[in-house]
Amino acid sequence: MSIETLTAAVRNIPDFPIKGIQFKDITTLFQSPSHLRELSDILYERYKKKGITKVVGIESRGFFMGPQLAVRLNAGFVPIRKPGKLPYKVIEEKYTKEYGEDTIQIHEDALTKEDVVLIHDDLLATGGTMVAAHKLVKKMEVKKIYINFLIELEALHGRSLFPDEVELDTILRFEI
């Protein structure tokens, strides 16, 4: 299967959630066993030699492929969630979105200085949530951080928000 086949399987929903947005629906990829297996294989092949000890998934779509990848890499899985969703002591990062401020949190003991971390989410658009997740994980002084998305909307230039030393990778790319 090719990247082109996976790209073609993503459903485009015009004017969702608001008029003017072209929503990329990835549920079509997850409904097909062959597409899901291919995504899993691509992610595994890209990260199997990186020494990943923890995969961090961002609520909630980072929870789709994140745990599966963690299992294949023999790594742990750590969720980053919205406030009030994690039961133990947390550290948090506030960030600005197009329409206000938001906050994400992680358990204070979820990562150690020995961890090599892959932060995973479904979509790189404007980049705000992942920038906050990167800052949050960086506060924990881990050894190395990799960032991965299933999809990148290149026209929104979210990639430009990350320092050059951040190894950021996407599987499928759309202009918009």
Residue type, 66: G
| Residue 97: φ, ψ to 5° | -110, 175
Quote the mean pLDDT of the chain: 95
Percent of the chain's residues with pLDDT above 70? 99
User: Are 126 and 156 a contacting pair, CB within 8 Å?
Assistant: yes
Q: Where on the phi/psi map is residue 157: left (φ > 0), alpha (ψ -120 to 50), or beta?
A: left
- pLDDT computed for residue 99 by the predictor: 73
75 in Cβ contact with 53 (< 8 Å): yes
Q: How many residues does the chain have?
A: 176
Q: Which of 46, 61, 72, 159 is catalytic?
A: 61
Residue 81 bears catalytic tag: no
Residues 103-129: tens digit of each pLDDT: 999 999 999 999 999 999 999 999 999
To the query of whether residue 98 is one of the catalytic residues in this protein, the response is yes
Q: Are residues 134 and 162 in contact, defined by beta-carbon separation less than 8 angstroms?
A: yes
pLDDT bin (cut points 50, 70, 90) of residue 168 is very high
Beta 167-174 vs 54-58: how paired, if at all?
unpaired
132 Cβ partners below 8 Å, 6+ apart? 93, 94, 95, 102, 104
Candidate list 4, 98, 101, 175, residue with the active-site label: 98
pLDDT at residue 15 in the model: 93
30's enclosing H/E stretch is: helix 27-31
Confidence of residue 102 (pLDDT cuts 50, 70, 90): very high
pLDDT at residue 21, rounded to an integer: 86
